[in-house]
Structure formats: C-alpha cells, structure tokens
C-alpha cells in the first residue's frame, strides 16, 4: 500500500474496519457453513453460529492479508446497515 511506512499511519490503517456480507446456513449435519460472496472461495464453518462467525472472520482476515501481500486489489467494504423492526 502506498501509504504505509509511517508508524502512526500504519496504526490507523490497522484499525480501519472493513465490512463484508456473510451468509450462514446450517447443513444437514447441523454444522453452520459461512460464506463471503465478495471473496470467492472464502468459506468456513462451525458447530454453532458463533463459531462459524468467528471462523469466517478469521478466514476473511487471512484472505485480505493474502490479497495485500500479492498486490491484488481488496474488494471494497459494504456501506449498508441492518435495521431491525418489530414484526407486527
């Protein structure tokens, strides 16, 4: 990245939070499978939704580090929020 090399700026860039859409589905064995459509092949799983979420977060972080290391473009973060409303 062209902005790296300055300690204060490097620390700021590490704190930047990226958001990616993740889909969680429970398979026939009860395992939760997590996929990140913006990152082809980025898939993980877990025994619970929480485990699958933790595991896909780790997979996404590794995927993004690999893209950066190899000089590949990093897909942009999504700019959406989830709004919860009552059902009735």
For 1-88, where are the E strands, in sequence order?
A: 23-26, 32-35, 43-46
Determine the pLDDT at residue 1: 45
Distances (CA, A) of 52 to 2, 20, 26, 38, 71: 34, 15, 10, 17, 28
User: Two tokens at 67?
Assistant: 């893209």
Task: Give the chain's domain count.
Answer: 1
Average pLDDT over residues 5-10: 58
Range of the domain at 63: 16-69
CATH of the domain at 22: 3.30.160.250
Contact 40, 66 (CB under 8 A): no
For 5-55, where are the E strands, in sequence order?
A: 23-26, 32-35, 43-46
d(CA 35, CA 26): 12
Establish if 64 belongs to a structural domain. Answer: yes
Q: What percent of the chain has pLDDT over 90?
A: 66
Q: What percent of the chain has pLDDT over 70?
A: 83
pTM: 0.75
pLDDT tens across 30-71, in order? 999 999 999 999 999 999 999 999 999 999 999 999 999 999
């Amino acid at each position: 990245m062209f902005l790296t090399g300055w300690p204060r700026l490097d620390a700021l860039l590490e704190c930047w939070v990226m958001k990616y859409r993740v889909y969680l589905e429970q398979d026939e064995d009860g395992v939760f499978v997590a996929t990140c459509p913006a990152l082809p092949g980025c898939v993980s799983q877990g025994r619970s939704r929480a485990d699958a979420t933790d595991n896909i977060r780790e997979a996404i972080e590794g995927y993004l580090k690999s893209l950066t290391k190899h000089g590949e473009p990093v897909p942009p973060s999504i700019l959406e929020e989830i709004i919860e409303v009552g059902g009735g």
